[in-house]
Structure 1
């Protein structure tokens, strides 16, 4: 009998404290941590990286 997932919750932490606390949604080596400043440039860099990854995934799906 197949299982149908109707709802999925994903929680991540960006700029985790340096105390070594890791959340359940973090992946080792997924991305380099942002500097502690958290300025506008950091946010723009994160958004640009996310957009690039999404476009890459969409491009790969279209090639199939």
Structure 2
């Protein structure tokens, strides 16, 4: 009998201190805003797909 996985939850922890060392502070804010905007867009797409069902 095959096993079907319906949901998969992935949790990660990111250490910003080691990632931000050596980068300029100004570009970090621009990248953060772009990432947040992309995440918001993806969430809105997911919510729209759920409404269609």
TM-score per shorter chain, which class? 0.5 to 0.7
- Unpaired stretches in structure 1, ≥5 consecutive residues: 1-7, 18-35
Higher helix content, 1 or 2: 2
Greater RCO, CA 8 A, separation 6+ = 1
How big is the alpha-carbon RMSD for the aligned residues of Structure 1 and Structure 2? 3.0
- Structure 1 or 2, whichever has the larger Rg, is 2
Paired positions, count: 39
TM-score (norm 1): 0.46
- Unpaired stretches in structure 2, ≥5 consecutive residues: 1-8
